[in-house]
Structure 1
């Protein structure tokens, strides 16, 4: 596979990852971290870039992607969990949220504010173009990697270059959470981008794109995926660092309620009225490429899962559903989606980690089941907490767990469940033998 093609695939993956949230989070971090920006952004990059790219690489280690990885727990779990992931990051939340952000930051400022009729017209045009580009996934690398990504780069470069000419008032003192532990606070912020879930979906496109170049050997496929992932990681890291620096430079000039408001002010300060257009173009392109990537991945997954529906029929359903949910408005979409993502994300991380270290315990189903079961209990509890549904018997236990205040209460239970599964695996030699034989057979094919 030519290096130029690897770079194009890496650019495509970058564009699909880079949505509006990925634009706003680093700006907020820079604004809050101030003098402690460097350790904070390093922590952010480790999880905001490392986890998603790692998820994509994990898929290249299996023949059937996320379904195979989740299937090591149980086949029924694989179908349910993976389908929930695609629905959550696809038509039920991810796509409508991106479209709404594109409207609110890209179009609404030019049309005098938010308006339901204008949102409908915008979303109708937006999803028509998404559908047309998504119809031919084989050309996705060319369309996104070679055309849309450069436009996205130019918009980001203009914003970053303009920050060099912002008035320098010195760095502000770091906010409360970045004062004593800036690295770990940035680490958690990157984790909260939830791009690892998208990585499980986008990985299918990346692997398919590489296979279309004639790469069929499993080791070669993984090697090429790592190369493309490295391109994505480098570009994402540079972009996050540049946008975060805009936040640092703008922080002394005002008290901004969010990263989006800070970026809007920065764009206007740097370029006047043209800044609104530049930022609008940047946000719209970022959201558009993400929506295309998610539509394609949903089409590829569900057309294989439901034989009665072909790819074109699935993306038609996805775009129509996304169009309808988009018009509910951003606040309503976020309100019902956060509990679902709070539940899904820890399980996703555990499965990705197990995919990498599984060879050391021959991908024992007991280890997978123990780690996932314990994680599921905690993540389900936290999801219900978001809905303000309290389960009193669990509350006292969860509150004693380490990292509970930063949303990582599942870490110790996941480890405990995995260790318990490993013990069961060792104590059941006959099952372990059958598992080893099945594992060896699958690797030989």
Structure 2
């Protein structure tokens, strides 16, 4: 395995992560954090960069990936949860969201017509390009890692260099949101990028990339995946810091309400009318590469789960479903999918953390089941709250735990469940002379 292979795979992984959401979150963080930009960005990097890296490692180090990890709770749970993950971050949410965001930020500004014609035209072209790239998974690294990613990085570099040359390093005021504890607030903002869930899908893309290079050794694939992951997270961290800095120092920052407005204005300020075109290129490429990665990962997963149909058949189905749902519009997609993501995200994080710690804590069923059961309770509360259900009584029962008001109430119960389950698996069951209940 050469350094070149690791580098291009890492660049591919960077592009798969770097979608439109990742593009517009950091500038808004910079805008709102102002003088507290450094601790806020440190928190954002902890969950927006480090957590996805951990998720990739959790998948690539386990034979069978996400299904195997989930099966440590129960075999049926492993399959069902993996299917929900791939559908929710794939054809039912992230793929059509990528197309819609690319259209609204990179294409629609050039049209005065508010009808559905421009959206249909754009999504046809967008999904045709994604379909073409995905048809030959063996060339995925070449097409994304060697071509699309460098173009994306060049466009971003032009924006950053110009910004650092022209903008003064004077931050705006700190908003109330980032006054008390900017690190924690940034930590939560990075958490809500949902990239850790996407990473559970992208792990299979990385493994397949090294297989296509002819690498069969598990240790070599893990070593390559670690290297590629480092390339990706370093790239993400650098881009996030630069984007956040632009939001923090952009003149008249108080007039903006989201990251897209900040970057659009920055591009026009730095490059004039040409800046709008530069921003469009960045947005469309970021969305396209993420969409390609999700289609490829989902098709590879379902082909492995049910091999009666070919990889190309799954690509066609996922592309068509993504195209069809895109026609609903971005707001409808978010209304449907966000409650689902709020539900699965904590469970996914607990699973991947337990998996990564397997060399130290084992694979005891009680440990997995107790931690997931308690996490499920808090995830259920969050999804009901997002759906507008009256959960005041529910909150009175479970709301005593730390971080509950931040939407992170599941953390301490998950740790308590895992710890108590580990003690039962390790000492109580063994103490009775029984074999530890683990999956081989």
Length-normalised TM-score, structure 2: 0.96
Alignment of 1:383-402 (within 5 A): 383-402=383-402
d(CA) in 2 for partners of 1:398 and 1:79?
29
Asked if 2 retains the 8 angstrom alpha-carbon contact of 1:148 and 1:285, the reply is yes
Greater CA drift, 224-233 or 208-217: 208-217
Asked if 1 retains the 8 angstrom alpha-carbon contact of 2:26 and 2:244, the reply is yes
Asked if 2 retains the 8 angstrom alpha-carbon contact of 1:16 and 1:290, the reply is yes
d(CA) in 1 for partners of 2:86 and 2:390?
28
Match of 1:428 in 2: 429
d(CA) in 2 for partners of 1:74 and 1:232?
33
d(CA) in 2 for partners of 1:112 and 1:234?
39
d(CA) in 2 for partners of 1:217 and 1:308?
27
Asked if 2 retains the 8 angstrom alpha-carbon contact of 1:60 and 1:207, the reply is yes
d(CA) in 1 for partners of 2:434 and 2:69?
18
d(CA) in 1 for partners of 2:128 and 2:384?
36
d(CA) in 2 for partners of 1:190 and 1:36?
16
Alignment of 1:322-401 (within 5 A): 322-401=322-401
The root-mean-square deviation of aligned C-alpha atoms, in Å, is 1.6
Displacement of 1:40: 1.2
d(CA) in 2 for partners of 1:113 and 1:60?
46
Displacement of 1:162: 2.1
Match of 1:243 in 2: 243
Residue by residue, what CA displacement relative to the aligned partner does 1:138-166 show, whole Å, maximum 9, x if unpaired?
Answer: 10000000000011001111211221244
d(CA) in 2 for partners of 1:264 and 1:431?
66
Matched, 1:213 2:213: yes
Match of 1:11 in 2: 11
Tell me the SS of whatever aligns to 1:172: coil
d(CA) in 2 for partners of 1:253 and 1:383?
34
Match of 2:155 in 1: 155
**Residues 175, 2 of structure 1: CA spacing in aligned structure 2 closer, same or farther, 3 A cutoff?**
same
Displacement of 1:251: 5.3
Residue by residue, what CA displacement relative to the aligned partner does 1:78-136 show, whole Å, maximum 9, x if unpaired?
Answer: 11101001001111000000100000011001122643111011101111111111011
Alignment of 1:244-323 (within 5 A): 244-250=244-250, 252-323=252-323
Alignment of 1:193-208 (within 5 A): 193-208=193-208
Displacement of 1:432: 5.8
Displacement of 1:355: 0.6
Asked if 2 retains the 8 angstrom alpha-carbon contact of 1:166 and 1:249, the reply is no
Matched, 1:103 2:103: yes
Greater CA drift, 168-177 or 116-125: 168-177
**Residues 83, 432 of structure 1: CA spacing in aligned structure 2 closer, same or farther, 3 A cutoff?**
farther
**Residues 332, 56 of structure 1: CA spacing in aligned structure 2 closer, same or farther, 3 A cutoff?**
same
Displacement of 1:394: 2.1
Residue by residue, what CA displacement relative to the aligned partner does 1:180-231 show, whole Å, maximum 9, x if unpaired?
Answer: 2111211111111000000000000101112333333333322221111110
Asked if 1 retains the 8 angstrom alpha-carbon contact of 2:172 and 2:253, the reply is no
d(CA) in 2 for partners of 1:114 and 1:292?
27
Displacement of 1:22: 0.2
Alignment of 1:223-242 (within 5 A): 223-242=223-242
d(CA) in 1 for partners of 2:267 and 2:133?
30
d(CA) in 2 for partners of 1:51 and 1:112?
41
d(CA) in 1 for partners of 2:115 and 2:148?
28
Residue by residue, what CA displacement relative to the aligned partner does 1:227-263 show, whole Å, maximum 9, x if unpaired?
Answer: 1111011111111011111101215444101111111
Q: Which runs of 5+ in 1 are unaligned?
A: 440-445
Displacement of 1:427: 1.6
Asked if 2 retains the 8 angstrom alpha-carbon contact of 1:34 and 1:251, the reply is no
Q: Which runs of 5+ in 2 are unaligned?
A: none
Displacement of 1:275: 0.7
Length-normalised TM-score, structure 1: 0.95
Residue by residue, what CA displacement relative to the aligned partner does 1:3-55 show, whole Å, maximum 9, x if unpaired?
Answer: 01100000000000000000001010110111111111111111101011111
Tell me the SS of whatever aligns to 1:402: coil
d(CA) in 2 for partners of 1:215 and 1:208?
10
Residue by residue, what CA displacement relative to the aligned partner does 1:266-323 show, whole Å, maximum 9, x if unpaired?
Answer: 1111111111100000000000000000000111011121233211111111011100
Tell me the SS of whatever aligns to 2:250: helix
Aligned length: 438
**Residues 431, 338 of structure 1: CA spacing in aligned structure 2 closer, same or farther, 3 A cutoff?**
farther
Asked if 2 retains the 8 angstrom alpha-carbon contact of 1:358 and 1:364, the reply is no
d(CA) in 2 for partners of 1:391 and 1:246?
40
d(CA) in 2 for partners of 1:359 and 1:174?
43
